[in-house]
């Protein structure tokens, strides 16, 4: 057994099942090990941003890491943006990054780069394997690091000789660490605030916005009148019929400030105090209202559910039945296509247990309200703001949940960053319905241009925010990668195509010209 | 004048003319300044790897930097692979990376990341602007750093408030540094070696492989019998009729070793001693023959042309006329399409002063020999091994040289990394003929798999190296981004399409199914 085989066997023994890969020469022994060791499914991405974004989407739905296989520093570099998103989603991901052989690293061959330098900003754990004998233990440590609550990116750099030299065999998997208990002081101050009769808001993320967490929040709300809110961007939230509805903190800072106004106690559940997404001239970056006390009920990595349970008991909330959503069918719209009536169709036709991956940006504004009353589903956001997460994350989510339909809501601008994901969707015949909102501009920038105080954009500025001249043809792009596609210009066309797609196995793309 | 305007004005005053951009919210004041300050052409790329690769191609042809405009850490991250290539090409590039406002940086908003960490591995110079007052001077320093011979990547990180606050105006451009003289000891030892009568090889790159450098090498060869060779990968080399032919060090280490065998003196001209591209089990990584003395005539950043001139004078070479190539028309082939007859067509039809951008990988093996006797042209290689350089670099080269036809020779596997470049080619109506070699596999990996000692790939391993299931349709992909395209399956079809394309303004793509 060589180092690569010991690595792969350790992964399989620890329960890893999927590798998203874009390998090169330095990773060929790992690739060979895919056939010699049973149990690992390897899925090729034609660009590394696809690979890492898929690992993020997979982890969010599977609750455990996939591994990635990346080629040296540049391969990792191409995957960094979606690893940034995975870091913000607290997704467990185990990267295996091939490297030149130990004795070759110092020779400055063309592909040599400072891989640890690229890895550190996105990784909670980084290690360079020193020899074939240590690779298996390194692999076990990497998985354990990735699974350490709340989840993080672990990057193992694998010099080629540590893969091809003889090794001692697989390592015994380590037990995944449990969340630590939340601090007593935070629990007690949250309880005191909730009992004070003063206006309280629970701001929630992570474990707090699981189905169980939301039920506890609803109980606490009924007992105390405390409001609960979700962060603006959440890695995964349970929604739809039978689930507790979660209002969210708005993206625009002034709207968020307005919503939080009057709150005297902000109680943080698996998150931190809110800040604006960007800075704007003359506006506050920190959104906690003046005079509001911040209580940390639980930090990321702590057991938010136990803390919420304790709070619910202390405030007498356990006798309340959580208020859950009922079916609200928005009906099927008619007429010219628009972001609103696309949302209406999705809300009306969304199949049970669907997974919505949302990178619709400005075109998705109507989607939350119109899908809230749909069949029970999970909703995955872009957590780190690094656009190009949608199509890859949809790919990974579909791999994790082969029995569920993935609905990939994709703005056209961000979709172009990692459009290669469509090919992987075709190769693996994944049940993904992609809706591309083709507004042919970076609409958010046209808004933000004004908001940062740069008014009246001239021609050159507009050229940086418009995606026309020429228009992108998403039907051609999808078909070029083997995904059947159509263009919808009316609500009826869109509804027919969407309905057909969710009933038909395999991927499909609808370009909605909005 | 705000900080962004002072930055842009300083760039323009220093002679920068082109910005390749993919901006976001934090760069909106820079975008606004494009209209308020005259003289900067801004070109949108739909992915940052396009932006940075275009800046590399532009710099190689223009001999001066373009600036890039990138959005925060993830935007830079998406551009790192082609900045790695630019670093290896020693291309002057000035990156402007937007960042959160200084007072917002510490708040850990979703898009916050350690930008300097991402930048350092590829940048020879990195700075974070501290205030609007310092931005202009930072810009002047960045250009000067980028232009410091032999050329490097300079990265200026621009917090949003340093862009939007009032500034003192533009900074006076700094004179670009000149190459330093090569060290006397190296020149003298090279002269002594060349006079020794023992077998000598000049290994050349950079200034050594300019038209002037190659003429000097040819003269020295005739006077001394010394052989001259180019590195395997070269940022830019002058070729074709009237130019001195430059044999190249082969990619495969054993072939390179064989070629260097018997050399007693290896004389380095603007390069370093050769090492193999990858390590292979049981094979040497350093390729200098045993018993061979290495002489450094000039290092990168030194004046190789002055050093070569001094050597030529010392060995009595100046009276020799350089041996230059004559027109060798390979004629037009017939029959089924193949990498060989594609090379034949390119050799036969290449227009004068064309620019060949070569990322053809294994499909390009016949191209050097069959274009050596073509009309005078420049040839640009993938220098850093980070695939996805071809289409972007062709884009940048075409912007730099609007009167010249760019022939972009592109393997299908690597082409998929940055295919978004085609859209920019369409928008800017650039004279680029792209030839995609559609062999539908990572052919180099099938070779390397065996060479690293991993024999008999199984089904899973083969799946990581084959790009079929489904086949990519490059005609659809190109048309989807506004570039007209056709598929060629015979040599005649290919020759007709290639001939028509080089005579027709604007971009065109030919998918050659090989």
CA gap B33, B43 in Å, rounded: 14
* pLDDT tens profile B54-113: 999 999 999 999 999 999 999 999 999 999 999 999 999 999 999 999 999 999 999 999
Task: Please list every residue in chain B whose beta carbon sits closer than 8 Å to the beta carbon of residue A385.
Answer: 72, 74, 110-111
Nearest CB neighbour to A117, from listed B120, B452, B479 = B120
| A307 Cα to chain B: minimum distance (Å) | 25
Nearest CB neighbour to B473, from listed A471, A472, A479 = A479
**Interface contact B238, partner A, CB < 8 A:** no
Mean of the pLDDT values across residues B139-168?
A: 98
Let me know if A59 is exposed, middle or buried by CB neighbors in 10 A (0-12, 13-18, 19+): buried
Nearest CB neighbour to A28, from listed B117, B449, B474 = B449
CA gap A149, A131 in Å, rounded: 29
Percentage of chain A lying above the pLDDT 70 cut: 100
Helices B184-195 + B304-314 axis angle, to 10: 40
**Interface contact B449, partner A, CB < 8 A:** yes
CA gap B405, B403 in Å, rounded: 7
Closest-CA residue of A relative to B48 is A417
Give the residue from B54, B18, B128, B71 showing the smallest Cα distance to A445.
B71
3-state secondary structure at position B98: strand
Give the residue from B100, B228, B232 showing the smallest Cα distance to B162.
B100
CA gap B191, B389 in Å, rounded: 38
Nearest CB neighbour to B423, from listed A386, A451, A472 = A472
Q: What is the pLDDT of residue B456?
A: 82
DSSP type of residue A481: T
Answer yes or no: do A103 and B445 touch at CB < 8 A: no
CA dihedral A198→A203→A209→A214, nearest 10 degrees, is 10
| Most B CBs within 10 Å, among A49, A76, A80, to test the B interface | A80
Q: Where are the domains of chain B?
A: 3-164, 184-314, 339-513
Task: Please list every residue in chain A whose beta carbon sits closer than 8 Å to the beta carbon of residue B19.
Answer: none
* pLDDT tens profile B164-178: 999 999 999 999 999
Say if strands B377-381 and B237-239 run parallel, antiparallel, or are unpaired: antiparallel
What Rg do the C-alpha atoms of chain B give, in angstroms?
Answer: 24
Cα of B399 vs its chain's centroid, Å? 14
Mean of the pLDDT values across residues A229-247?
A: 97
CATH architecture of B3-164: 3-Layer(aba) Sandwich (3.40)
pLDDT score of A455 more than 80: no
Contact A23, A76 (CB under 8 A): no
Phi, psi angles (nearest 5°) of residue B485: -155, 160
- Tell me the DSSP string of B149-185: TT--EEEEEEEHHHHHSB---PPPPPPPPPPBPPPHH
* pLDDT tens profile B180-201: 999 999 999 999 999 999 999 9
Q: What is the pLDDT of residue A293?
A: 98
- The total of other beta-carbon atoms located within 10 Å of residue B456's CB is 9
Give the residue from B103, B106, B205 showing the smallest Cα distance to B162.
B103
Contact B391, B57 (CB under 8 A): no
Give the residue from A457, A377, A189 showing the smallest Cα distance to B23.
A457
CA gap A443, A440 in Å, rounded: 8
Here the tokens at position A245 are 């509805």
Here the tokens at position A486 are 């159509």
Predicted TM-score (pTM) of this structure: 0.98
Cα of A112 vs its chain's centroid, Å? 31
| Residue written as token pair 């998705």 | A364
Contact B55, B155 (CB under 8 A): no
- Tell me the DSSP string of B273-286: --B-SS--TTS-SB
Contact B66, B396 (CB under 8 A): yes
Mean of the pLDDT values across residues A34-38?
A: 96
DSSP type of residue A302: B
CA gap B106, A448 in Å, rounded: 21
* pLDDT tens profile A170-206: 999 999 999 999 999 999 999 999 999 999 999 999 9
Answer yes or no: do A121 and B107 touch at CB < 8 A: no
* pLDDT tens profile A391-424: 999 999 999 999 999 999 999 999 999 999 999 9
CA gap A479, A508 in Å, rounded: 10
Nearest CB neighbour to A42, from listed B276, B426, B460 = B460
- The total of other beta-carbon atoms located within 10 Å of residue B338's CB is 16
Answer yes or no: do B35 and A458 touch at CB < 8 A: yes
Here the tokens at position A129 are 């394997």
- The total of other beta-carbon atoms located within 10 Å of residue B169's CB is 11
Contact A1, A167 (CB under 8 A): yes
Task: Please list every residue in chain A whose beta carbon sits closer than 8 Å to the beta carbon of residue B453.
Answer: 29, 164
pLDDT score of B455 more than 80: no
Here the tokens at position B322 are 């350089």
CA gap B52, A412 in Å, rounded: 21
Answer yes or no: do B121 and A117 touch at CB < 8 A: yes
Nearest CB neighbour to A454, from listed B28, B121, B383 = B28
Closest-CA residue of B relative to A73 is B81
B/e letters for A297-322, b = 16+ CB within 10 Å, e = fewer, are bbbbbbbbbebbbbbbebbebeeeeb
Contacts of A33 (CB under 8 A, 6+ apart): A2, A4, A5, A7, A8
* pLDDT tens profile A301-319: 999 999 999 999 999 999 9
B/e letters for A179-214, b = 16+ CB within 10 Å, e = fewer, are beebeeebbebbbebbeeeebbbbbbbbbbbbbbbb
**Interface contact A251, partner B, CB < 8 A:** no
Closest-CA residue of B relative to A47 is B417
Answer yes or no: do B25 and A388 touch at CB < 8 A: no
Complex ipTM above 0.90? yes
Answer yes or no: do A482 and B476 touch at CB < 8 A: no
Give the residue from A466, A459, A474 showing the smallest Cα distance to A444.
A466
Answer yes or no: do A110 and B233 touch at CB < 8 A: yes
Answer yes or no: do A120 and B122 touch at CB < 8 A: no
| A219 Cα to chain B: minimum distance (Å) | 30
**Interface contact B446, partner A, CB < 8 A:** no
Q: What angle do CA A112, A113, A117 make, to 5 degrees?
A: 155
* pLDDT tens profile A426-444: 999 999 999 999 999 999 9
Nearest CB neighbour to A25, from listed B417, B445, B467 = B445
pLDDT score of A229 more than 90: yes
CATH architecture of B184-314: 3-Layer(aba) Sandwich (3.40)
CA gap B460, A23 in Å, rounded: 13
**Interface contact B30, partner A, CB < 8 A:** no
Task: Please list every residue in chain A whose beta carbon sits closer than 8 Å to the beta carbon of residue B416.
Answer: 46-47, 420, 423
| Most A CBs within 10 Å, among B470, B483, B484, to test the A interface | B470
Give the residue from B479, B511, B474 showing the smallest Cα distance to B494.
B511
Mean of the pLDDT values across residues B205-222?
A: 98
**Interface contact B17, partner A, CB < 8 A:** no
Residue ranges of alpha helices (H) inside B170-237 are: 184-195, 211-224
Query: How many residues are listed for chain B in this entry?
Result: 514
Domains A184-314 and A339-513 share a fold: yes
Q: How confident is the model at residue A452 (pLDDT cuts 50, 70, 90)?
A: confident
The dihedral through the CA atoms of A256, A259, A264, A266 has a sign that is negative
Mean pLDDT, chain A, rounded, equals: 97
CA gap B504, A109 in Å, rounded: 40
CB pairs under 8 A between A and B: 309
DSSP type of residue A472: P
Q: How confident is the model at residue A360 (pLDDT cuts 50, 70, 90)?
A: very high
Q: How confident is the model at residue B454 (pLDDT cuts 50, 70, 90)?
A: confident
- CATH of region A339-513: 3.40.50.970
CA gap B328, B339 in Å, rounded: 19
Q: What is the pLDDT of residue B452?
A: 87
Phi, psi angles (nearest 5°) of residue A18: -130, 135
CA dihedral A263→A264→A270→A271, nearest 10 degrees, is 70
Contact A498, A346 (CB under 8 A): yes
Q: What is the pLDDT of residue B401?
A: 98
| Most B CBs within 10 Å, among A20, A385, A472, to test the B interface | A385
Q: What is the pLDDT of residue B504?
A: 97
pLDDT score of B453 more than 90: no
Contact A426, A502 (CB under 8 A): no
């Amino acid at each position: 057994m060589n180092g690569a085989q010991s690595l792969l066997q350790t992964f399989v023994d620890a329960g890893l099942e999927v590798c998203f890969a874009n390998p090169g020469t330095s990773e060929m022994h790992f690739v060979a090990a895919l056939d010699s060791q049973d149990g690992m499914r390897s899925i090729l991405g034609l660009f590394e941003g696809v690979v890492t974004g898929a690992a993020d989407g997979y982890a969010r739905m599977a609750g455990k890491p996939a591994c990635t296989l990346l080629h040296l520093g540049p391969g990792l570099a191409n995957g960094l943006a979606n690893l940034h998103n995975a870091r913000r989603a607290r997704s467990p991901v185990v990267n295996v990054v091939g490297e030149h052989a130990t004795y070759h690293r110092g020779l400055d061959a063309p592909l040599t780069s400072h891989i640890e330098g690229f890895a550190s900003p996105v990784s909670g754990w980084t290690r360079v394997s020193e020899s074939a004998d240590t690779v298996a233990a390194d692999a076990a440590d990497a998985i354990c690091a990735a699974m350490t609550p709340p989840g993080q990116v672990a990057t193992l750099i694998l010099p080629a000789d540590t893969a091809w030299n003889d090794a001692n065999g697989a390592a015994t998997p380590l037990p995944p660490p449990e969340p630590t208990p939340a601090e007593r002081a935070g629990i007690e101050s949250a309880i005191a605030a909730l009992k004070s009769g003063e206006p309280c808001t629970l701001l929630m993320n992570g474990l707090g916005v699981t189905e169980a967490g939301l039920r506890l929040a609803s109980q606490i709300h009924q007992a105390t009148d405390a409001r609960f809110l979700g962060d603006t961007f959440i890695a995964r939230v349970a929604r739809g019929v039978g689930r507790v509805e979660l209002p969210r903190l708005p993206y625009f800072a002034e709207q968020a400030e307005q919503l939080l106004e009057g709150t005297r106690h902000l109680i943080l559940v698996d998150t931190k105090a809110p800040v604006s997404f960007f800075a704007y001239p003359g506006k506050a970056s920190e959104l906690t209202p003046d005079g509001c006390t911040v209580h940390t009920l639980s930090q990321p990595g702590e057991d938010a559910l136990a803390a919420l349970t304790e709070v619910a008991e202390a405030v007498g909330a356990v006798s309340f039945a959580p208020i859950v959503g009922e079916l609200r069918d928005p009906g099927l719209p008619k007429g010219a296509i628009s972001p609103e009536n696309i949302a209406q169709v999705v809300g009306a036709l969304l199949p049970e247990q669907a997974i919505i991956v949302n990178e619709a940006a400005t075109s998705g504004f109507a989607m939350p309200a119109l899908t809230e009353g749909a069949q029970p589903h999970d909703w995955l956001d872009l957590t780190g703001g690094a656009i190009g997460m949608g199509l890859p994350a949809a790919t990974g989510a579909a791999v994790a949940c082969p029995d569920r339909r993935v609905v990939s809501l994709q703005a056209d601008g961000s979709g172009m960053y990692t459009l290669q994901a469509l090919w992987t969707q075709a190769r693996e015949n994944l049940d993904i319905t992609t809706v591309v909102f083709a507004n042919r501009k970076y609409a958010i920038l046209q808004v933000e241009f004004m908001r940062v105080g740069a008014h009246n954009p001239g021609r050159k500025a507009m050229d940086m925010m418009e995606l026309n001249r020429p228009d992108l043809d998403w039907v051609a792009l999808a078909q070029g990668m083997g995904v059947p596609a159509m263009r919808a210009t009316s609500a009826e066309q869109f509804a027919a195509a969407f309905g057909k797609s969710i009933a038909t196995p395999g991927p499909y793309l609808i370009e909605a010209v909005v």
